[in-house]
Chain A
C-alpha cells in the first residue's frame, strides 16, 4: 500500500511498514545512521538518525519509526543538529583515534560525519585505552579500544552460529 509523507516540506511516496530511514535513503536524503545495517536487526543504539515529526513531542530515531500516511518529517533543525553533534562527540569519546595507521582512513563513516557536522572529535578524553586486543589468526584483529558499541558484530557472530562475541550481562545479580 502506497502512502504519502512530507519530508522537509516536500511530498514523497512511501510504502506502509517502511521505516522513515528506509524512505529517506530511497530518496537520497541524508541522516547519519551508524548502527543501521540493511541485513541486520534494527537496534537504534547510536541515536544519531533522529528526526522530528509534526504533532509529536520529542525526537524519533528514523530507523525504528514506521512511516504513516500524512506524516510530516523534518530532518534538519537546530534541535536535531545539537543532538547529532553531542551524540557523535560521545561516540568519538569511546573510540581511540589512530587514524594515521587505520586502513579505513579514507573510508571512515565516523570521520565523514565528524567533518560534516564540524564536531570536536577530542571533546572528551578517550574512555577506552589499553584494553586487551584479540588476534583471531593472522587476518582478524579485534581492538576493543576502537569499538563504538553498535552491537553489529555480536549479531553477525550469532547469525553465523559462531557466538564468539557475546554481550555481557553487566548487572546480573
Chain B
C-alpha cells in the first residue's frame, strides 16, 4: 500500500457516485494488479435527474478535480486518465478542462447513451467502443476494465475529495443538491452525515407547507416524510422537496416508470419485461397488487445491474407513505 492509499484508507472516503464503495479498496486493487496499462476514469456522467453536484464542482473547482487525477497518475505507473462527461458538461467545461490538463496524459470523452451510461461497467464498455450495456461482475473494472486493463472509475466528487485528502483538507464532507419546490435550490457542501431537516432549514429551504422529500435523486430516491428527515440524504446526495397537496401521485410515478422504461438497456428479463409491465399498469392506472409484488421481487433479486434494483425504491416508498 502506498503512503497515499494508506491516507485514503484512514480518511474513510466512500465513492460519491451513489454506491458508497470504499475508495481505497478500488485504489489498492488497481495498484496490486499487474498490467502494461492502467486507466483512471473521472466519471462526470451525472445521469440521475435532480443531482447537480458534479456540475457544481466542475464549474467552481475544476482545478481540484485535475489535482486529484494527478495524484492518481502519480500513484499508478503506466496510467492514463479519461474525464468522461455528459454531453452538456463536455460542451460547458471541455475548454476550461483542456486548459488545466495541459500536457498531462488526461483525455476528455463525451458520454454516449443515457442514464445507464454512467454505471461503471457500462462506461468501460463504451470506452472500449461497445454498446451502452452493463458487463457482468466479476471481474470488476479495477481488476480488468478497459480492454482487460485495470480501470479505476471514480466520480467527479470523489476525485475532488482525493485532492483534498492529499492536502490534509478533507473534513468528511460531501455535496448535497437541493431541488424541487424550494425557495433556494442549489448545492451545499456539508458533513457527510448532515441531517436533511437541518440542511433545509439552514439554507432557507424548509417548506411552510405540507411536504415530502425524495432522498438520493429525482428518480431512484426514496420518499421520506417530514418526520424522517433526521437522517442524511442517500445515494448521490440530492434532496427533492414536493408539495404534498399539489403533487399528483400518478403523474409522479408515471414519470419514474417512464424514465426507467426509456433508460433501461433491454438486456435482462426483469428490467426489460418487468418495467414494461409496470409501465403498462401505470398507463392504465390499474394496479394489480400481486403482479406488482412479483415484478418488484424479480427486479430486486435478479436484475443484471443496479438500474433494475432501484426501480422499486421510489414507487414502494411513495405508495406506502403517501398513497394515491
Question: Does A135 sit within 8 A of B, measured CB to CB?
Answer: no
Question: Is B266 within 8 A of A93, CB to CB?
Answer: no
Question: Is B273 within 8 A of A83, CB to CB?
Answer: no
Q: Choose the segment among A6-14, A20-28, A138-146, A165-173 that binds chain B (4+ C-beta atoms closer than 8 Å).
A: A165-173
Question: Does A33 sit within 8 A of B, measured CB to CB?
Answer: no
Question: Does A53 sit within 8 A of B, measured CB to CB?
Answer: no
Given contacts A127-B276, A171-B262, A173-B112, contact A86 B304 (CB under 8 A): no
Per-residue interface assignment for chain B, residues 289 to 303, with 1 indicating a CB less than 8 Å from any chain A CB and 0 otherwise = 001001101100111
Measured in the bound complex, the distance between the Cα atoms of B137 and A42 in whole Å is: 12
Question: Is B270 within 8 A of A87, CB to CB?
Answer: yes
Question: Is A127 within 8 A of B273, CB to CB?
Answer: yes
Contacts of A151 in B (CB 8 A): 267
B residues whose Cβ falls under 8 Å from a Cβ of A: 87, 112-117, 131-133, 136, 138, 262-263, 265-270, 272-274, 276-277, 291, 294-295, 297-298, 301-304
Choose one: B131, B262, B297; the contact of A167 (CB below 8 Å).
B131
Question: Is B113 within 8 A of A86, CB to CB?
Answer: no
Contacts of A79 in B (CB 8 A): 301
Contacts of B276 in A (CB 8 A): 127
Contacts of B133 in A (CB 8 A): 167
Per-residue interface assignment for chain A, residues 56 to 93, with 1 indicating a CB less than 8 Å from any chain B CB and 0 otherwise = 00110100101000000000000100110011001101
Contacts of B266 in A (CB 8 A): 149, 170
Measured in the bound complex, the distance between the Cα atoms of B291 and A93 in whole Å is: 13
Measured in the bound complex, the distance between the Cα atoms of B112 and A83 in whole Å is: 33
Contacts of A91 in B (CB 8 A): 269, 273
Closest CB-CB distance, B9 to chain A, in whole Å?
A: 25
Question: Is B268 within 8 A of A45, CB to CB?
Answer: yes
Question: Is B298 within 8 A of A170, CB to CB?
Answer: no
Contacts of A172 in B (CB 8 A): 112-113, 132
Question: Is A59 within 8 A of B301, CB to CB?
Answer: yes
Per-residue interface assignment for chain A, residues 154 to 171, with 1 indicating a CB less than 8 Å from any chain B CB and 0 otherwise = 000000000000010111
Question: Is A171 within 8 A of B302, CB to CB?
Answer: no
Q: Total A-B residue pairs with C-beta atoms closer than 8 Å? A: 88
Contacts of B273 in A (CB 8 A): 90-91, 93-94, 127
Given contacts A90-B270, A127-B273, contact A82 B294 (CB under 8 A): yes
Given contacts A64-B136, A90-B277, contact A171 B265 (CB under 8 A): yes
Choose one: B87, B138, B269, B274; the contact of A45 (CB below 8 Å).
B269
| CB<8 Å pairs between A and B, sample of 17 | A46-B268, A46-B269, A47-B270, A47-B303, A59-B302, A79-B301, A82-B294, A82-B297, A87-B270, A87-B298, A127-B273, A169-B112, A169-B131, A170-B266, A172-B113, A173-B87, A173-B114
Question: Does A121 sit within 8 A of B, measured CB to CB?
Answer: no
Choose one: A90, A123, A167; the contact of B269 (CB below 8 Å).
A90
Question: Does A44 sit within 8 A of B, measured CB to CB?
Answer: yes
Closest CB-CB distance, A75 to chain B, in whole Å?
A: 15
Question: Does A104 sit within 8 A of B, measured CB to CB?
Answer: no
Measured in the bound complex, the distance between the Cα atoms of B264 and A45 in whole Å is: 13
Question: Is B304 within 8 A of A93, CB to CB?
Answer: no
Question: Is B113 within 8 A of A173, CB to CB?
Answer: yes
Measured in the bound complex, the distance between the Cα atoms of B273 and A33 in whole Å is: 17
Contacts of B113 in A (CB 8 A): 169, 171-173
